[in-house]
Chain A
Amino acid sequence: MAKAEKDQEMEKEKIKLEGMDPEKLKEEMLSKYPTKVARKRAKGIVVNRVEGENVPQIQSNVRTVPGLIGQRGCCYAGCKGVVLGPTRDIVNITHGPIGCGFYSWLTRRNQTDASTTPDGHNFMPYCFSTDMQDEEIIFGGEKKLKQAIQEAYDIFHPKAIAVFATCPVGLIGDDIHSVCREMKKKLGINVFGFSCEGYKGVSQSAGHHIANNEIFKHVIGTNDEVDEGEYKVNLLGEYNIGGDAFEIERLFDKCGLHLVSTFSGNSSYDKFAKAHTADLNMIMCHRSINYVAEMMETKYGIPWIKVNFIGAEATAKSLRKIARYFDDPKLMERVEAVIAEEMPVVEQARDEIRPRTEGKRAMMFVGGSRAHHYQELFNELGMTTLSAGYEFAHRDDYEGRKVLPEIKVDADSRNIEELKVEPDEKRFRPRKTPEQLAKLTAENLLADYEGMMPQMKDGSMVIDDITQYEADWLIETFQPDIFCAGIKEKYAVQKHGIPMKQLHSYDYGGPYAGFTGAINFYKEIDRMVHSRIWRYIKAPWQTNPELAATYAWD
């Protein structure tokens, strides 16, 4: 073959991103970094190319380089803010100086419905902190913590009190767990602690794990009362941002599924306590909660499946998956009936909007699952995801759970406890026969998550732990039609005149889950990519040089 021809062949082989070579783009983006930094970042930025089982490897869950401005929070934020934050009737006390508690005070827009628990307890609007002062840093803060627990008990008489450690606590050597044990004995209610000091791990992710561990140790399985109802399920990793859980609950009711507990949107303590009585665990956000699902499987025999209620198609698919798990014609029929009833309205809305959104381009950088889930909704609108990535995910969330055995735990994550779990003598109960399990496994139904990358187009850029600079660069280079991230990026994105949708807190919008949520989202995106606001960004003489000339001449 002549060289020219060969080059042409190679050229065809090459993956393009909007007519550009993504590898070259990556190089260009990295060229602004100091060499050492560029080398490190290069491993976390991957051009997607999926061939069969082969998914490119992406570096994730490693420490952010000091001095780069990223978007991650700390271990405490993941533990207290994300996982335990949405539970209304546990009093959460932050043990530490005032800032950590203050900043995690109702900032995630989780909703809850306290009218469904008899005592009506809702402590979410409160922010309890031991507000450590100099004295405690020097002499220790255990005394003050005890007092804080006592005070919280005296005022609110909650069912449970949880204590969260912040950075200084670990260093001054306060033993929050022994304080909790002591107070538990004294008060006769459940009091438990989380050693989620902010410096542990590399992101919120460490905090999720710690939260999972302690909830599993101290709460799940403490109430054996079995709810009435068929098809008992738990929903894990759904945090009821913008009312998502309410929509999902509506669908479950309609399908006849009985929701024992949710971790932790619209949740309550008692429901956590009897979560082990359910027959199926469903995981929404794989990253933040897969530990609980795995531990519950070992200890109580509850299998888990991955579900996703973001996107109408995905919702239908997930409902069918649940029905398949229970393998009951009655349920299957009911699920089909619900889908048949709900879908037409969704389709109508979508067909009306899609011609306006078709071909538009999105980018999204959020969380440990949303950057994946929301691609479903954009697909339904005919939009392409040019680039996406997570803030605190691990390789399995990108490449799928099959890479789990390959993942090496580095020094930063080594100290996060892995609980040793054994089957519970009294409470372990297989939910399925070995044959049934084998069949479901063969269908790839159980304990499987294929990750984000296999579902993304070849050539798209997958970026882990994106920095502010990289986000700006992407926007400059691609001028996407919409950029999705969190509040920290929001105003920088808008400064470029690009519409920005917050996928952490939904900018006062939502719900976006389920069928109703999908319609809300379509409409919202339609409005956003067509808002007239963006036309005023430049004055007329800036966009139109002739006009400028006239003005000058005037």
Chain B
Amino acid sequence: MKQTTQPAAYTATQNACKLCTPLGASLVFKGIENAVPLLHGSQGCSTYIRRYLISHFKEPADIACSNFAEETAIFGGGANLKIALENIRLQYAPEMVGIATTCLSETIGDDVPMFIREYREMCRDQEIPPLVHVSTPSYQGTHMEGFHGAVKATVETLATGEKAEVPGINLFPGMLSPADLRHLKEILADFDSPFMLLPDYSQTLDGALWTEYQRIPPGGTPVAEIRQAGGARASIEFGRVLASQKESAGRFLEKRFGVVNHGVGIPIGITETDRFFEALETITGRPTPDKYLEERGRLADSYVDGHKYVIEARAGVYGEEDLVVGLVAFLSEIGVIPALCATGGNSRRFRDRIAEIIPDHERKGVTIMDNADFVEIEAAAEKIRPDFFIGHSKGYTLARRLDIPLIRVGFPVHDRIGGARILHIGYRGAQSLFDRIANTLIEKRQDTSSWGYTYM
């Protein structure tokens, strides 16, 4: 069907470029060892969110719910929350329960901290696992606010001043893929430093087959390690947008326990990855292992070899604010012009962060859009006609309509397999992104050439 051209700025949202707040929080709780996420509200939200996580990760994703009924919505959800907590405790024996609210319990103004106190009181003689609560109404923010909120709430609830024997590094990576998380663990291990990566769903949401039934899939950040976060040597937090915000887990630990916080961009591409390794060198006092220098060398070499295929190509980038900022940093360094940078997020910091990376964005004609949906993105893309899109699966319809190739990254990727295995970060991640982008452009040229050359 033909799409009418859009006048600017709509009130309603069509084809959103963001997901809802408790999804981000649930994902964080899925990344904590032996933790069960619990959504406080009606079951539809938890079912939808599970369904979405599952279709991307292709793994089971159990999320419990306090199952509001109509009368719960009227009289409050205290009783339901307590029943849910009790059943989860007896059935799963979890080491932590992460409670996120939904729009429903937020709208009726449920006092969750009070319910938690009452529940503890009720079970005075029993061992109750730590209960972390994060408030996640979707009418404030997106899944990213839910994600960061849950990381912060977890640290706030669990971290004491307690120190590990050998204090390590706290790493708050933000919403990356399991492949990214595994790569981060490898890097930290190579720096020979203990670390606490929060969250870590690299195994819980991308695990092996089971030889026996698992109540809660193995893996995740151990609760005991999160407890010691206040005694760490330093924290590293990914995301330039996050770094410009007032509150975060890293900030909290800095203020409360004096753990120095390093805010760096998501390490996509050479420049941002260099910063990350510099931070690691500063904290550990060790040089970057040769292995990574070699990877960096190979990457730079491939930039030289491949740059003529990508230079001056124009990209349409969309997704979460920090991911887009990271991708833009990378695209700029390989000579691609991020002609369209769009996000559904609305932190009001997105534009400035992009501008930092591309100071001459106006001259280059870069369009920056925040709080955008896909109808607005499409209208802009029709004018800009980028050579390729880079973003998640929800952009597929528009890419198809405009006949522009889409390189899938981030979340959700539910029309391909392997979404969990996409590597974005580090020199290695940049290598794979670079190859994919160059080959996509080459392929397009090859397919559309009348000549059909078979050799480069």
Q: Which residues of A contact B (CB under 8 A)?
A: 32-34, 37, 63-77, 93, 96-105, 107, 114, 120-122, 125-134, 136-137, 144, 147-148, 151-152, 155-156, 166-168, 170-172, 197-200, 202, 411-412, 415, 468-469, 472-473, 476, 487-492, 494-497, 537-538, 542
Q: How far is the CA of A144 from the CA of B73 in the complex (A)?
A: 23
Bound complex: CA A113 to CA B84 (Å): 44
Contacts A127-B14, A144-B11, A151-B10 known; list 18 others, CB within 8 Å.
A63-B67, A63-B69, A67-B66, A67-B84, A69-B62, A73-B44, A96-B103, A97-B137, A102-B19, A121-B1, A128-B13, A129-B13, A129-B16, A131-B16, A171-B107, A199-B72, A412-B70, A491-B60
| Chain B: CB-nearest residue to A497 | B209
Q: Which A residue sits closest to B210, measured CB to CB?
A: A495
CA distance A116 to B422 in the complex (A): 41
Distance, CA A125 to CA B90, complexed state (A)? 43
- By the criterion CB–CB under 8 Å, are A487 and B54 in contact? yes
> Please, which residues of chain A bring their CB within 8 A of the CB of B73?
167, 170-171, 197, 199
Which of B16, B47, B71 is packed against the most chain A CB atoms within 10 Å?
B47
Min distance, Cβ A502 to any Cβ of chain B, angstroms:
11
Residue of A nearest to B5 (CB): A155
Is the CB–CB distance between A75 and B1 below 8 Å? no
Which listed residue, B6, B47, B66, touches A488 by the CB 8 Å rule?
B47
In the complex, B91 has a CB within 8 A of chain A: yes
Kindly provide the distance from the CB of B44 to the nearest chain A CB, expressed in whole angstroms: 2
Contacts A127-B14, A148-B11 known; A97 to B64 CB distance under 8 Å? no
CB of A199 within 8 A of CB of B209, answer no
Complex contacts, A496 vs chain B, CB 8 Å: 209-210, 213
Q: Which of B6-63 contact A (CB under 8 A)?
A: 6, 10-16, 18-23, 38, 41-45, 47-52, 54-55, 57-60, 62-63
Give Cα A151–Cα B375 distance, bound, in whole angstroms: 12
Nearest A residue to B89, CB-CB: A67
A491 touches B58 (CB 8 A): yes
**Interchain CB contact under 8 A, A73 and B47:** yes
Q: Is B189 an interface residue (CB 8 A)?
A: no
Is B83's CB under 8 angstroms from A103's CB?
no
Question: A72-B47, A495-B209 are contacts. A198–B19 as well, Cβ < 8 Å?
Answer: no
Report the contact-size class of chain B (Cβ under 8 Å from the partner): 35 or more
Query: A67 contacts B64, CB within 8 Å?
Result: yes
Give Cα A65–Cα B84 distance, bound, in whole angstroms: 8
- Which of B42, B58, B68, B84 counts the most chain A CB atoms within 10 A? B42
Task: Decide: A167 and B139 in contact? CB cutoff 8 A.
Answer: no
Shortest CB distance A231–B (Å): 33
Q: Are A34 and B87 in contact (CB under 8 A)?
A: yes
**B104 A198 Cβ-Cβ under 8 A:** yes
Tell whether B156 is near chain A: CB-to-CB under 8 Å. no
Q: State which of A37, A97, A127, A491 has its C-beta within 8 Å of the C-beta of B103.
A: A97
Interface contact B12-A148, CB-CB below 8 Å: yes
Q: Indicate which residue in A101, A202, A538 contacts B16 across the interface (CB closer than 8 Å).
A: A101
Residues of A within 8 A of B18 (CB): 98, 102
Contact sample, A vs B, 20 pairs, CB 8 Å cutoff: A63-B69, A65-B67, A66-B65, A66-B83, A68-B87, A68-B91, A70-B43, A105-B15, A126-B14, A128-B12, A130-B11, A134-B140, A137-B137, A167-B45, A167-B103, A487-B54, A488-B51, A495-B59, A495-B60, A497-B210
Q: A73–B60 contact, CB under 8 A?
A: no
Is there contact, CB below 8 Å, between B16 and A33? no
Chain B residues within 8 Å of A415, by CB = 70
Report the nearest B residue to A71, measured CB to CB: B47
Q: How far is the CA of A537 from the CA of B212 in the complex (A)?
A: 12
Residues of A within 8 A of B84 (CB): 66-67
Q: Is B448 an interface residue when CB atoms closer than 8 A count as contact?
A: no
Q: Given A67-B64, A168-B103, A171-B73, A151–B11 Cβ distance below 8 Å?
A: yes
Among candidates A103, A122, A130, A155, residue contacting B13 with C-beta atoms closer than 8 Å: A130
Contacts of B66 in A (CB 8 A): 66-67
A103–B55 Cα distance when bound, in Å, is 11
Tell me if B446 counts as interface (CB < 8 A to partner A). no
Partner of B83, one of A67, A166, A491: A67
Q: Give min CB distance, B439 to chain A, whole Å.
A: 25
Given the interface pairs A69-B63, A130-B13, A136-B139, the reply to whether A490 lies near B83 with Cβ below 8 Å is: no
The verdict on B211 contacting chain A, using a C-beta distance below 8 Å, is yes
What is the chain B residue whose CB lies nearest that of A135? B139
Q: Provide the bound-state CA to CA distance between A538 and B104, in Å.
A: 45
Q: Name the interface residues of B235-290: CB closer than 8 Å to any CB of A.
A: none
Are A167 and B12 neighbours in the complex by a CB distance under 8 Å?
no
Given contacts A99-B23, A168-B104, contact A128 B14 (CB under 8 A): yes
Set of chain B residues within 8 Å of A412, measured between Cβ atoms:
69-70
Complex interface: chain B residues within 8 A of A70 (CB): 43
- Distance of A95 Cα from B47 Cα, bound (Å): 19
A412 to B42, CA, bound (A): 13
Report whether A167 and B41 are in contact in the complex, using a CB–CB cutoff of 8 Å: yes
- Chain A residues, CB < 8 A from B49: 99, 103
- In the assembled complex, the Cα of A152 lies from the Cα of B23 at a distance in Å of 28
**Residue in A66, A114, A411 whose CB lies within 8 Å of B1:** A114
Footprint of A on B, CB under 8 Å? Answer: 1, 4, 6, 10-16, 18-23, 38, 41-45, 47-52, 54-55, 57-60, 62-73, 80-81, 83-88, 90-91, 102-104, 106-108, 137-140, 142, 207, 209-215, 397
What's the least CB distance linking A179 to chain B, in Å? 13
B48 touches A491 (CB 8 A): no
- The chain A residue with its CB closest to the CB of B71 is A411
Among all A-B residue pairs, the 9 with the closest Cβ atoms? A74-B44, A99-B20, A67-B87, A148-B12, A103-B48, A67-B84, A131-B13, A66-B84, A492-B60
Query: Could you tell me if A172 and B87 are in contact, using CB atoms closer than 8 angstroms?
Result: no
A197–B69 CA distance with the chains assembled, in angstroms: 11
A127 to B14 Cα, complex, angstroms = 5
Partner pick for B139 among A71, A72, A105, A137, CB 8 A cutoff: A137
Given A151-B11, A167-B41, A199-B42: A33 and B91 interface contact (C-beta under 8 Å): yes
B44 touches A76 (CB 8 A): yes
* Docked-complex contact B38 and A67, CB < 8 angstroms: yes
User: What residue in chain B is nearest A416 (Cβ atoms)?
Assistant: B70
Q: Inside 8 A of A71's CB, which chain B residues have their CB? A: 47
Rounded to whole angstroms, the CA-CA distance of A136 and B103 in the bound complex is: 12
Q: A235 to B39, alpha carbons, bound, how many Å?
A: 38
A99 to B139, CA, bound (A): 9
Name the CB-closest residue of B to A536: B209
Provide the residues of chain B in CB contact with A137, threshold 8 Å.
103, 106-107, 137, 139
**A171–B15 contact, CB under 8 A?**
no
In the complex, the chain B residue whose C-beta lies closest to that of A149 is B12
In the complex, the answer to whether B51 meets A487 with C-beta atoms within 8 Å is: yes
Q: Which residues of B contact A69 (CB under 8 A)?
A: 62-65
Q: Which residues of B contact A32 (CB under 8 A)?
A: 91
- With A and B bound together, what is the CA distance between A170 and B42 in angstroms? 13
Asked whether, in the complex, the Cβ of B48 is within 8 Å of the Cβ of A487, the reply is no
Question: Bound state CA distance, A48 and B45, in angstroms?
Answer: 33
Please report the C-alpha to C-alpha distance between residue A35 and residue B433 in the assembled complex, in whole angstroms: 53
A473 — which chain B residues lie within 8 A by C-beta?
Answer: 213
Kindly state the separation between the CA atoms of A475 and B19 in the bound complex, as whole angstroms: 33
Most A CB contacts (10 A, CB to CB) among B38, B70, B209, B214 go to B70
Decide: B67 and A64 in contact? CB cutoff 8 A.
Answer: yes
For A493, give the chain B residue with the smallest CB separation.
B60
Whole-angstrom distance between the Cβ of B209 and the nearest chain A Cβ: 5
Instruction: Given A74-B47, A77-B47, A127-B14, answer yes or no on A122-B68 (Cβ-Cβ < 8 Å).
Output: no
Task: A133 to B356: give the CA distance in the assembly, Å.
Answer: 29
Q: A69-B62, A468-B62, A491-B59 are in contact. Are A103 and B51 (CB under 8 A)?
A: yes
Which of B55, B142, B397 lies at the interface centre, i.e. has the most chain A CB atoms within 10 A of its CB? Answer: B55
